[in-house]
Structure 1
Amino acid sequence: TGERTEIGKIARKTEKERETETPLLKKMKKLGKRIFFAILVVSTFNFLIGVYRGYSFDFTFLASVGLAVAAIPESLPALVTMILAMGVRDMASRKAVVRRLPAVETLGSVTTICTDKTGTLTRNKMKVVKVFAGSKEYDADVVGEVDVREVRMTLLAGYICNKAIYREEDGEYIISGDPMEIALLEVAAKAGIRERDWKTIDEIPFDPAIRFMATAVEEDGIAMVYAKGAPERIIAMCSHAMVKGKPIRIDAEYLNRVAEDFASRGMRILAFAYKPADAEGFKIKEHVSDMIFLGFQCMIDPPRKESYEAVKKCKEAGVRVVMVTGDHPATALAIARELGIEGKVLTGEDVEKMSDEEFATGIGVFARVLPEHKLRIVRALQKRKEIVAVTGDGVNDAPALKAADIGVAMGSGTEVAKEASDMVIIDDNFATIVAAIEEGRKVFKKIQKVLAWTLPTNGGEGLAIFSAFLIGLALPILPIQILWINTVTALLLGTTLVFEPANELKKPTKGELLSREIVVRIGWVSLLMVLGAYFLFFSQENDVAARTAAMNTIVFFEIFYLLSARNLDKSFFAALKRKNPAILPGILAMIVLQVIVAQTQTWLQATPLSIFTWIEILAVSSLVLILSELAKLKKF
């Protein structure tokens, strides 16, 4: 009971697996620390310079605080949260429900997807197409016309070792259960095998660890044990095989070759066996050896049409696809090759014998895998610095789902799997996972755009104060003006980037949020903004007009730079083709507000400016757009 049950063991494993910190959280923490220490050092240095130059303590302290306020990108957490929330919305529209907000961006960083086969890459609509019994192969469509004992017993075994429902009521079929077991009932119905009043006296439920199930029914005082499972497991449990209605010595090597041949054609194979026993004092576990082999039922579960394109997209986007399945190795490999999944095939037994380093590279298919093998595969890939997404639907998959960078549960899966996951795929479709990765990469690019716009503009405001203290000049803008700029530009300009349609990325977003290119931008845009503000500051007749001009210069710098920051790689004109419903209203509202403030607000210590000054402001601030576009041209 309790922790000693199988559920209890899984719960302990799941608890031991710590939730991995997402790449976004790691990067944001690292970035936050760098910004904090940089601003702390500069603000402290600014205060010491002010004291050294003999400025009043109150003025120096207020200016240093103003510098910190100017430089801190206080809108960044809100903007990132908005981007992630919109990413969640977009993913939900594509049938991917995100349970943890930072997971949105993590999807964009995924380098390896460990995916199930059945129901994810394939349709999970199974149909028996071949029956092999008595050393002969039969088409499933004609088994009803075949009067061969071993064929009928193979179908009967599939009917009895079954938990699905398939019956006719009022001219309509009632179907419920596992698709594989439904397929077994359908083919049995073709052969005229219908419901009978069998008395089940004992059973061994299916367990992936033993790879078979067995059901014992009583017939005329005799216990008949029927077993169903993986071919190699059932064959190993048998000493005889039924041929032409009689048991003969089994040729295990031959039967394994036959199973391998069917599997290599992409079929899923189940083997069946039986054994009669005395019903008195019967215990099923004593009768699952020395059984009589009956035959195979071979099913097809064709790949989803969209899986072909999804795997191709993964290759183009630099994401490695690894199939992890409980199926026969040959079946799994055949489906993998059909879909374009590359790499060798290994079984769960092979994994147990190998080190993590040996199976972490060059393997495209893991077959006959148990949940504990899946967990080890995830850990081995993570050791190689891979960002791993793993799919799962069963209770046993919970530890692997929690250990993965992105745990993806199937909508049809268990609640335990969903609770351990970061994302739930409503339609169980591999293509939906790929679509979610695309959305994750767009989210990463949006966050980069916000950083590329926010940090230079905030840096320019802070540098304006610092340079004044360093050189011994008058402050070009006052602390209250800085607070005004930060508030209104974050609201009216910064939020517009949240609605920016992102361009697709062809590689995983494993790099830093601040690339070398963005760091260089921060430097020269901040410097250019300060030079422009001082140019307008010194061109005015009095301090109030000078600071009003400098304040508006900084605002218009941010407006023009916003136009360039819409696309960090392509030109401003290319960005115009991509519709952003917020950017034009945001810019217009910002311009109108600044004109009104300059004309009417005395509390900001602003004053009306001449038309000539406004033209100067526009001419100087537009330089940032021109130079940014030239920098993009130079890059290409």
Structure 2
Amino acid sequence: MTSEAAAVAPLSGLTDAEVAARVAAGQTNDVPTRAARSVSEIVRANVFTRINAILGVLFVIVASTGSLINGLFGLLIIANSAIGIIQEIRAKQTLDKLAIVGQAKPTVRRQSGTSPLPPNEVVLDDVIEIGPGDQIVVDGVILEEANLEVDESLLTGEADPIAKDAGDAVMSGSFVVAGTGAYRATKVGREAYAAKLAEEASKFTLVKSELRSGINKILRFITYLLWPAGLLTIYTQLFTTDAGWRESVLRMVGALVPMVPEGLVLMTSIAFAVGVIRLGRRQCLVNELPAIEGLARVDVVCADKTGTLTENGMRLSELKQLGDEDVSEVLAALAADDPRPNASMQAIAEAYGDSPGWTATATAPFKSATKWSGTSYGEHGNWVIGAPDVLLDPSSAAAEDAERIGAQGLRVLMLGSSDRSVDAPDAPGMVTPAALVVLEQKVRPDARETLEYFADQQVSVKVISGDNAVSVGAVAGSLGLHGETMDARRLPEDTGELADTLEEYTTFGRVRPDQKRTMVHALQSRGHTVAMTGDGVNDVLALKDADIGVAMGSGSAASRAVAQIVLLDNKFATLPYVVGEGRRVIGNIERVSNLFLTKTVYSVFLALLVGLVGLGSKLFGGDPLLFPFQPIHVTIAAWFTIGIPAFILSLAPNNERAHTGFVKRVMLAALPSGLVVGVATFISYLAAYDGQYAPAVAQTQASTGALITLLISAWWVLATVARPYEWWRVLLVVCSALAYIVIFSLPLAREWFMLDPSNMAVTSRAVLIGLVAAGLIEALWWLQGRILGEPRRLWRTS
């Protein structure tokens, strides 16, 4: 470090005046707490959509005819935009509040004092203290260090921790795995390395989900159908009929409006947004919205023991002396000299609080890879503390004793004296056992219930811990998690063999951080969707590479930074609610998609049939065929068979298991149902159609007959989509039917909506054709169940 740098950032940190000067100069860490759209971006994204543009153009065309009642579909533009904006802003507010609670706060050293500050209050040249598990929040230069090691794998891909000396650079986005130190901030805000990466990689993530990508595939497919159907409709209605421009334009728009699945993307966005709000009430921060969906598809949960199945805090249960020497002073000295004690050392510090005041000549921080730490005290000896099965001869009496105690689910550490300094290259060398330190962890009261939930849902749970395998197995067994336990030091290196081992065993102890990551990869290689839960720095790599990373709010800053979901209240029992919310989103959007896409399919198919018949009439001298509906007809058809029911179904409770193959499932349901509705409506219209020169009353009656057939068949699609029935689903379906009965019964409504069901022959035939179509849709529903291998149920069972 140069003398100039030292002048700007003495080890004692900046003065308040220097901080104020940097704030005034804009030299602050002005990176948003999370990647999210601003309110103005949300408004623009919900108003200026492709669907709104299409509906807007069609509305202007209808308005030019002077028939305002036919322009009612224009209200969809306002409704789509308003609902989308309101829900997304609510979700943004929820996430932003939770993000402030859950954000990592670096410890900043200033001349006025040392305290944790929000990342956006760090300024250029601030001195920031770091220890194990801390994330480097801005780029900087090391000022002081004690055995400091930094993991930069999230930035560079290099897996091995890098030792840092004074003067070395550190990059934001990396994290400390061992040792302590302090660094001076050299680049803050958007100049920092991680911020530049985040600007590209951490955009608003609502679109990055299997569900939404599936919907986009479906919409692309529909677009291919819309073009020929739309162009054919425009041509036949405007240029082959002699109905006059006003009537032709209305019929053309009546054909085009229902082709647009106007509510599908909106309902998906609402379902995600409401999910975020609901989980936010449970103190669950969703860093990436599709994680709600992803966790619902998970079939393997890899859970860390400490901090997940057990609570973070520990207490000293027993000190078992292995020699004649009293080790109380040694334990007190080790605890006092650890600048960033982990949970084990904190428990020892609480039990042995009076430090003897020894002078440390060398230190070795705890590392997940080595499983021990130590301090040399000159004439008082070299002392190490760590895993007995790492420091002891496995055949020794002390090792057997430690194994026996660990089998009871207790954590056992071995304290011993070494024959060499702890910072020697070949440390710890020859270790003489002095005592076994027995620590007790409290099992989370909700852990058993959560594990039972996953078992009921056929989700495998693998306990992966750095603790002794026997101890981990005992804790898992006490929670009712059955299966074989393995020491990870015996895990095979080959990915295929490792995957086989993971299928066979349930509990793993002495797992290194790199092994956790490899185990996640091995499970993924077998087609599993893997969730990883953890709270420590040793979990970071696995959390990052798992399909869904879940961190505890009290965990290390690094683990919270890479996880998609953070449980701010540290409750493992919140996970079932996240799974349930994901299932609600996936299951309900599948239902809603079936409704909207069935409408699009029957609209496109009806337009093609009318267009092709009209084109044939033009070529062979027949009577041109007007499209059966005006815009108001298709608008009221969508109200109670799709729009209102879809909104209710998209937000309803739904705990059905998530299924794969979203696109296949939706298209298998929507295509045949849509074809049946379209063909039935066309037959009904064709049977009642008396030609374009027929009296207006006859034309209205033919259109009404076609609408009745459409409503009956489309209503039956809703009746199948709402299954399995509960009381409120039955009520929804019944109310939908009653709404149309009321519309057809009221003279004023018939006049407004241009309906005339008075021709009993036409109406009776339309009802009969509609019932036949409903029967075909019912048969298709049962057939789809057989094709998908899913038993169909009319009523929900507990």
Asked if these proteins are the same fold (TM beyond 0.5), I'd say: yes
Taking the TM superposition and a 5 Å limit, the aligned residue runs for 1:458-497 are 458-472=600-614, 473-478=625-630, 481-482=633-634, 491-497=643-649
Taking the TM superposition and a 5 Å limit, the aligned residue runs for 1:450-529 are 450-472=592-614, 473-478=625-630, 481-482=633-634, 491-502=643-654, 504-505=655-656, 507-515=657-665, 519-520=668-669, 522-524=671-673, 526-528=675-677
Specify which of 521, 546, 567 is matched with residue 425 of structure 1: 567
Paired position in structure 1 for 2:727: 576
Paired position in structure 2 for 1:246: none
Taking the TM superposition and a 5 Å limit, the aligned residue runs for 1:48-447 are 69-134=257-322, 149-150=324-325, 152-153=326-327, 155-162=328-335, 178-188=342-352, 194-217=354-377, 222-235=379-392, 253-274=396-417, 284-285=423-424, 288-351=428-491, 353-359=493-499, 360-447=502-589
Deviations 1:116-164 (A, max 9, x none): 11121123342333332237xxxxxxxxxxxxx44x31x4433332269
Count of paired positions: 575
Question: Which AA in structure 1 matches 2:662?
Answer: E
The structure-2 alpha-carbon separation of the partners of 1:391 and 1:520, relative to structure 1 and needing over 3 Å to count, comes to closer
Taking the TM superposition and a 5 Å limit, the aligned residue runs for 1:5-84 are 6-13=150-157, 22-40=209-227, 69-84=257-272
Question: Which AA in structure 1 matches 2:273?
Answer: A
Report deviation, 1:10: 4.3
The structure-2 alpha-carbon separation of the partners of 1:5 and 1:319, relative to structure 1 and needing over 3 Å to count, comes to same
| Matched position secondary structure for 1:296 | strand
Report deviation, 1:553: 5.3
The structure-2 alpha-carbon separation of the partners of 1:402 and 1:33, relative to structure 1 and needing over 3 Å to count, comes to farther
| Matched position secondary structure for 1:207 | coil
Report deviation, 1:436: 1.4
Instruction: Give structure 1 stretches of 5+ with no counterpart.
Output: 136-148, 166-175, 237-250
1:114 and 1:323 in contact (8 A); partners too: yes
Task: State how far apart, in whole Å, the 1-side matches of 2:492 and 2:751 are.
Answer: 77
Task: State how far apart, in whole Å, the 2-side matches of 1:88 and 1:346 are.
Answer: 38
Question: Which AA in structure 2 matches 1:272?
Answer: L
2:467 and 2:510 in contact (8 A); partners too: yes
| Matched position secondary structure for 1:74 | coil
1:269 and 1:296 in contact (8 A); partners too: yes
1:104 and 1:440 in contact (8 A); partners too: yes
Instruction: Give structure 2 stretches of 5+ with no counterpart.
Output: 1-139, 143-147, 158-172, 174-193, 615-624, 690-696, 784-791, 794-798
Report deviation, 1:434: 2.8
1:476 and 1:534 in contact (8 A); partners too: no
1:501 and 1:578 in contact (8 A); partners too: no
Task: State how far apart, in whole Å, the 1-side matches of 2:737 and 2:356 are.
Answer: 76
Task: State how far apart, in whole Å, the 2-side matches of 1:428 and 1:510 are.
Answer: 30
Task: State how far apart, in whole Å, the 1-side matches of 2:497 and 2:248 are.
Answer: 59
Task: State how far apart, in whole Å, the 2-side matches of 1:576 and 1:624 are.
Answer: 26
2:254 and 2:633 in contact (8 A); partners too: no
Deviations 1:546-571 (A, max 9, x none): 3355346545654554344222xx2x
1:392 and 1:417 in contact (8 A); partners too: yes
Question: Which AA in structure 1 matches 2:467?
Answer: D
Question: Which AA in structure 2 matches 1:542?
Answer: A
Task: State how far apart, in whole Å, the 1-side matches of 2:258 and 2:234 are.
Answer: 15
Report deviation, 1:365: 2.1
The structure-2 alpha-carbon separation of the partners of 1:26 and 1:381, relative to structure 1 and needing over 3 Å to count, comes to farther
The structure-2 alpha-carbon separation of the partners of 1:544 and 1:411, relative to structure 1 and needing over 3 Å to count, comes to same
Question: Which AA in structure 2 matches 1:161?
Answer: L
Task: State how far apart, in whole Å, the 2-side matches of 1:28 and 1:181 are.
Answer: 52
Task: State how far apart, in whole Å, the 1-side matches of 2:661 and 2:733 are.
Answer: 28
Question: Which AA in structure 2 matches 1:71?
Answer: M
Question: Which AA in structure 2 matches 1:184?
Answer: I
Deviations 1:36-70 (A, max 9, x none): 344456557778999998999x9999988875653
Report deviation, 1:587: 7.9
2:306 and 2:312 in contact (8 A); partners too: yes
Report deviation, 1:217: 4.0
Question: Which AA in structure 2 matches 1:451?
Answer: S
Deviations 1:278-302 (A, max 9, x none): xxxx884377433432111122324
2:382 and 2:422 in contact (8 A); partners too: no
Task: State how far apart, in whole Å, the 2-side matches of 1:478 and 1:487 are.
Answer: 15
RMSD: 4.4
Question: Which AA in structure 1 matches 2:375?
Answer: T
Question: Which AA in structure 1 matches 2:516?
Answer: K
Report deviation, 1:320: 0.8
Deviations 1:519-568 (A, max 9, x none): 2464135413542465367558422343355346545654554344222x
Question: Which AA in structure 2 matches 1:366?
Answer: F
Task: State how far apart, in whole Å, the 2-side matches of 1:369 and 1:617 are.
Answer: 70
Question: Which AA in structure 2 matches 1:285?
Answer: A
1:319 and 1:508 in contact (8 A); partners too: no
Task: State how far apart, in whole Å, the 1-side matches of 2:391 and 2:573 are.
Answer: 35
Task: State how far apart, in whole Å, the 1-side matches of 2:519 and 2:293 are.
Answer: 23
The structure-2 alpha-carbon separation of the partners of 1:256 and 1:543, relative to structure 1 and needing over 3 Å to count, comes to same
The structure-2 alpha-carbon separation of the partners of 1:326 and 1:180, relative to structure 1 and needing over 3 Å to count, comes to same
The structure-2 alpha-carbon separation of the partners of 1:528 and 1:87, relative to structure 1 and needing over 3 Å to count, comes to same
Question: Which AA in structure 2 matches 1:494?
Answer: A
The structure-2 alpha-carbon separation of the partners of 1:34 and 1:384, relative to structure 1 and needing over 3 Å to count, comes to farther
Question: Which AA in structure 2 matches 1:575?
Answer: E
Deviations 1:184-214 (A, max 9, x none): 23443xxxx6344444443211111121111
What fraction of aligned residue pairs are identical, expressed as a percent? Answer: 23
1:259 and 1:269 in contact (8 A); partners too: yes
Q: TM-score, normalising length from structure 2?
A: 0.62
Task: State how far apart, in whole Å, the 1-side matches of 2:330 and 2:242 are.
Answer: 95
Task: State how far apart, in whole Å, the 2-side matches of 1:547 and 1:447 are.
Answer: 32
Question: Which AA in structure 2 matches 1:158?
Answer: L
Taking the TM superposition and a 5 Å limit, the aligned residue runs for 1:536-615 are 538-539=687-688, 541-551=697-707, 554-555=710-711, 557-559=713-715, 561-567=717-723, 570=724, 574-577=725-728, 599=750, 601=752, 606=754, 610=758
The structure-2 alpha-carbon separation of the partners of 1:114 and 1:36, relative to structure 1 and needing over 3 Å to count, comes to farther
